[in-house]
Structures are given as C-alpha cells and as structure tokens.
C-alpha cells in the first residue's frame, strides 16, 4: 500500500542561482533515501496551501536548511546564511497542520530546530560562541563523524537499535532547550543536543544529523525503521 511522505523544499531567496529569481530546491538524496526506505516522496514547495499539502500525505519530513536569525546581535564576523522568512513561515504552517492531523514528523537539522522552536524551545545560534567548550560540529563530508549517546527509553533508541552510534555533523546552530511536550533524547559527548522527540503518542522526532547522507544505524537503517514505524497503526 502506498505511503506518501511529504518533504518541504528549500528556497533560495537571495539570487544565488540567478539574479531576480527565487528557486525552490532539495538535495535529491532526501527523496532517494525515503524511496529506498519504502515511502513515496512528495515535494512540498512554499506557495502550496499547508492544510491541503498535509491532507495529501501520510507523514512529514522537514529537511535541513539555512540558519535561524538570532534574537540578539552577534559579532559581525560570524557568518549567518539566514533562511527565507517566507520558507520559515511555510514550514511553521506545515508543522502546525501536521501536528493538528497527528501525522508522524521527522525534522532534520534545520527541521529539528524548527520543531523545538515551535514547541516553545530555543537555540544556540553559533555553537563556538555560545558553547565554547563544545567540540567542532561542522565536520567535513563525507567522512566527518562524532559519537552520540541515545536515551535507553526513547523512541529513537528503539528505531536505531543502539544506544551509541556515530553521526555526521554539518551545523553551527543547535537546540538549546525544548518546550513542553518534547524532550532531548540524544546528545553528543560534549553535551550538545543531537535529537529530540515528542512525549505524546505521535511519532515526532528531530535529529541534528543528516541521515539521508549516511548508511548504517543513524542513516539508511534509521530512515527505513522510521518509515516502518510510521506505517504501523
């Protein structure tokens, strides 16, 4: 039986590809990885009606993306690639509509951070400045990895089938706190939150790494387990 996973797209609003034009785009590895996991991926571009988009899918993926704007000024030399306000507004509406319907949700990097923010949490906007004792979290691809520890009693641990694994790491922002109804469920060895999940019955997980770029427990095996769990009544 078909199982459709909607994936929000990214939005170039700064003319990086061609001046005067906005482009929606997505790393094809998201769709390829979800298809390999047994799902039918469906791209959801900004401009779609969030309620109708969510009505057409069985689960939602909020992918990686650009930075969230800090609440207070940071030193001018810290580079921020700010996400399009239109895209952030669309993703917030998608997330709200998916939560209203009780759909399974997976947030990846930017997507996990958005989930935390929408639950009432907050971010560290630049790890080297906000958490000077933390290790480097922008590691080179394809081999840059660090270890994470997963809580025993978490949904994430049941999906990964392990309490410790290695993940890729491409971010300089991270979750500082989760709001009511969610909890951290995995951390790096330096204490940085690497995953969050809902305390409610819905399968709602956010991961700071990029499983679509990886094989192994935190990569293709995780996505296959997530899709399988989404399909289980």
pLDDT of residue 226: 98
Do the Cβ atoms of 169 and 192 come closer than 8 Å? no
Give alpha helix (H) positions in 104-179.
110-118, 127-130, 155-160
Instruction: Please name the CATH architecture into which domain 4-231 falls.
Output: 3-Layer(aba) Sandwich (3.40)
Which pairing describes strands 146-150 and 122-124: parallel, antiparallel, or unpaired?
A: unpaired
pLDDT at res. 164: 97
Query: pTM value?
Result: 0.96
**Which residues sit opposite 108 in a β-bridge?**
207
Query: Which residues are catalytic, by number?
Result: 109, 210, 212
Local confidence band at 15 (pLDDT 50, 70, 90 cut-offs): confident
pLDDT tens digits for range 156-211: 999 999 999 999 999 999 999 999 999 999 999 999 999 999 999 999 999 999 99
- Contacts of 162 by beta carbon, 8 Å cutoff, 6+ apart: 150, 217
Higher per-residue confidence, 15 vs 230: 230
Query: For residues 233 and 121, what is the distance between their CA atoms, to the nearest angstrom?
Result: 29
pLDDT for 232: 86
Task: Tell me if 4 sits within 8 A of 57, measured CB to CB.
Answer: yes
Burial of 73 (0-12, 13-18, 19+ CB in 10 A): exposed
Cα–Cα distance for residue pair 154/230, rounded to 1 Å: 16
On the CB side of 143, how many CA atoms lie within 13 Å of its CA? 0
Q: Are 190 and 133 in contact (CB under 8 A)?
A: yes
Residue 36 has pLDDT above 80, yes or no: yes
Q: What is the pLDDT of residue 78?
A: 94
Look at residue 1 in the predicted model and tell me its pLDDT.
80
Q: What is the DSSP string of 18-64?
A: STT--EEE--HHHHHHHHHTT-EEEEE-BTB-HHHHHHT-SEEEE--
H or E element, residue 183: strand 182-188
Q: Measure the CA–CA gap between 38 and 82, rounded to whole angstroms.
A: 33
The residue whose two tokens read 């019955």 is 201
Q: Can you tell me whether residue 85 is helix, strand or coil?
A: helix
How far CA 172 is from CA of 42, 120, 149, in Å, comes to 28, 20, 19
């Amino acid at each position: 039986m078909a199982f459709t996973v909607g994936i929000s797209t990214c939005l170039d609003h700064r003319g990086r590809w061609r001046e005067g034009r906005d482009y929606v785009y997505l790393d094809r590895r998201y769709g390829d990885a979800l298809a390999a996991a047994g799902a039918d991926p469906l791209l959801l571009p900004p401009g779609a009606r969030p309620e109708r988009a969510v009505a057409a899918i069985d689960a939602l993926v909020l992918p990686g993306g650009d930075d969230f704007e800090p609440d207070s000024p940071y030193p001018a030399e810290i580079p921020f690639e700010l996400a399009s306000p239109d895209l952030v507004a669309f993703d917030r509406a998608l997330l709200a509509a998916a939560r209203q319907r009780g759909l399974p949700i997976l947030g990846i990097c930017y997507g996990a951070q958005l989930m935390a923010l929408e639950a009432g949490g907050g971010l560290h906007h630049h790890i080297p400045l906000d958490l000077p004792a933390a290790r480097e979290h922008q590691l080179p691809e394809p081999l840059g990895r660090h270890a994470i520890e997963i809580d025993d009693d978490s949904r994430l641990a049941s999906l990964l089938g392990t309490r410790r694994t290695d993940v890729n790491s491409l971010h300089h922002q991270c979750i500082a706190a989760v709001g009511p109804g969610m909890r951290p469920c995995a951390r790096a060895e330096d204490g940085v939150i690497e995953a969050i999940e809902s305390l409610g019955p819905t399968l709602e997980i956010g991961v700071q790494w990029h499983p679509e770029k990886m094989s192994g427990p935190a990569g293709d095996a995780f996505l296959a387990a997530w899709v399988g769990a989404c399909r289980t009544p």
